[in-house]
Amino acid sequence: MKPSLLFVFFFAFLLIVPGSGFADQRVTVHVLSIQGSINPAQEDLLREAIDQSVRERSNLLVVRLDTPGGLGETTRNMVKLILNAPVPVAVWVGPDGSRAASAGVFLVAASAVAGMSPYSNMGSARPVGMGGRDIPEAMVDKVLSDFVGLIRATALSRGRNVDWYVRAVTENANLTGVEALTERAIDFVAPDVEDFIAQIGAQGLEWNNVTRHFTLDDVALVNIEPGLWHAILSWLLDPQIAYLLLMGGLAGLFFELLSPGAIFPGVLGGLCLLLGLYAMAILPTNVAGLLLILFGMMLFALEVVITSFGLLSIAAVVAIFFGSVILFRFEYGMGAIPIWSILITTLGLSAFALFCVYLVTKAHKHKPLQDSDTFIGQKAVVRQWRSTTGFVFFQGESWSAVSNRPLELNPDDAVYVTSVQGLTLTIDTTMPT
C-alpha cells in the first residue's frame, strides 16, 4: 500500500475513534447574569465567574447584562477584569427592554464580543452625582475627562466605534440594539443568548491569535448561579437600603437610651446600625454626612434636659436632612437616594424622636398616681447597677434607683424599696422596718 494511502487511513482513524483529540469538538460556554446597579457585589460576582470559567476550562464567558449604572470605581475595576481576563468575556444586553446605561456602556465596550437584543438600549453614560444630581462645577471637567479617557481607550482596544462611545459619555447618546450594530458599537444583534453564541461560533471566536468556529450543537452551556451571600450583599449595598438601616438603627438606639429596659428596640436598632455601617464602609460615604446625622440625634436627646422652646429640635431636623443629602459622595450614574426618600425618612425619624422626647418629658413631670408610701417595702428587680446608682424593674416599669450605701448587685437580684423621691427609688437589700 502506498504511504499516502496509509496517511489517509490513519487520519480518518483519528477522526472516528472515540477519545481522540480531534474528535472532541465540544465548546464550553459559561453564562452569568448581572442585573441591577453596578456595585462591589457585582464586581465580586464577575471575578468569581471568571475564576470558575478558567478552572473549568471554559472557552467563553457570556455576561447577560441589564443595568441602570453604578459606582465609578467598581465600573473601572470590572472593565479591568474583562480586559485582562484569561478567558474571552462576551457581553449581551438583553432581553428586549433591558438596558446598559451609564456604567453598563463601559462593560459593553470592554467585552471581547458585544451583542444586544434588537429592542434593548445602551447609552446615557455621562457621569452624574449620587441620586442623579449634577457633579459640582469645580469637578465636572476633571471627572468627565477621566471617563472619556477610559471609554476611548476601552473602545479602541476592541476596535469599536470610538466616536460613538465618547458621545455616550459627553452627550448622553443612546442606541437600540439594531442602531448599535449599524454604528459598529457592537458586533451582533441577537434575540437571546443562544442565538448570540451561535452567531459568535458562525463568525469564529478569535482569542490569542486563534479563531475557532462552532455551532450551537457543539456548545455545552453552564449557567453560573449567584449564591445566597451575593443576593444578601447586593441588597445590603443598595445605598437606599443602607441609609434606611442607618436611620432605623439610630431610631431604635435613641428609644432605648431614653427608655432603658425596653431591650427589643435597642437590640434591633443595634443590628440595623451595624449592618448600615458595614454597607457604608464599602459604599462611597461622606463622614461629614454621617456626623451631621449623629449630631442631629444628639440635639434631640438634649431637648429632654434643656429648655430650648423647640430650637434644638429644629436644628436637629436641619442637621439630619443635610447629613442625609451629603451622606454619599457623587459616583458614576449611581441611582442612590432620591430627595423625596430623604425628606420622608428625615421627617419620619424626627417625628419619632420628638414623640420619644415628649413621652420622657411627660413622665418626668408626671407624679405617680399611687401614694408613694405604698411603694415602701415592695420588691424590685435589678437591671443595671454600679455602686450606688442604677436601674431596677418595678411594677412593670424601668425606674432609676439609688442606695444610701455602696451595694454589690447583679442583674436579676431582688431588692426592696426604702423610699421614693419623684421618679427615683431608694433601694436596699433588706426590707425596711
Q: How far apart are CA 256 and CA 269, in angstroms?
A: 9
Structurally, what CATH architecture does the domain formed by 18-226 represent? Alpha-Beta Complex (3.90)
Parts of the chain with a pLDDT under 50: 1, 3, 5-24, 130-132, 138, 333-335, 369
Determine the pLDDT at residue 15. Answer: 42
Which secondary-structure segment (H or E) carries 33? strand 27-35
Look up residue 370 and give its three cell numbers.
399611687
Complete DSSP assignment for 381-432? EEEEEETTEEEEEETTEEEEEE-SS-----TT-EEEEEEEETTEEEEESS--
Determine the pLDDT at residue 60. Answer: 96
- The one-character DSSP state at 38 is B
Q: Which residue has the cell 463622614?
A: 287
Q: What are the residues facing 63 on neighbouring strands? A: 32, 91
Q: Are 119 and 98 in contact (CB under 8 A)?
A: no
- How far CA 147 is from CA of 86, 143, 403, 405, in Å, comes to 25, 6, 67, 70
What value, to the nearest 5°, has the Cα angle with vertex 129 and ends 128 and 130?
130
> In which residue ranges of the chain is CATH 2.40.50.140 found?
372-428
> In which residue ranges of the chain is CATH 3.90.226.10 found?
18-226
Amino acid sitting at position 153: A
Q: Are 250 and 297 in contact (CB under 8 A)?
A: yes
- How far CA 243 is from CA of 240, 317, 355, in Å, comes to 5, 16, 22
Q: How far apart are CA 96 and CA 135, in angstroms?
A: 31
Number of H helices and number of E strands within the chain? Answer: 14, 16
Angle between helix 287-302 and helix 339-365 axes, rounded to 10 deg: 30
- DSSP reduced 3-state for 111: coil
Burial class (CB in 10 A: 0-12, 13-18, 19+), 137: exposed
Determine the pLDDT at residue 226. Answer: 83
E strand map for 208-319: 210-212, 219-224
Determine the pLDDT at residue 26. Answer: 82
Determine the pLDDT at residue 135. Answer: 54
The pair phi, psi for residue 100, each rounded to 5°, is: -125, 80
Start-to-end CA span in the chain (Å) = 125
Torsion sign across C-alpha atoms 355, 358, 362, 364: positive
146 CB-near residues (< 8 Å, 6+ apart): none
Torsion sign across C-alpha atoms 85, 90, 96, 102: positive
CA-wise closest residue to 243 among 328, 315, 316: 328
Q: How far apart are CA 417 and CA 398, in angstroms?
A: 14
Q: How many other CB atoms sit within 10 Å of the CB of residue 7? A: 10
CATH number of 372-428, picked from 3.30.160.60, 2.60.40.10, 3.90.1150.10, 2.40.50.140: 2.40.50.140
Determine the pLDDT at residue 173. Answer: 93
Q: Are 382 and 392 in contact (CB under 8 A)?
A: yes
Q: Are 153 and 359 in contact (CB under 8 A)?
A: no
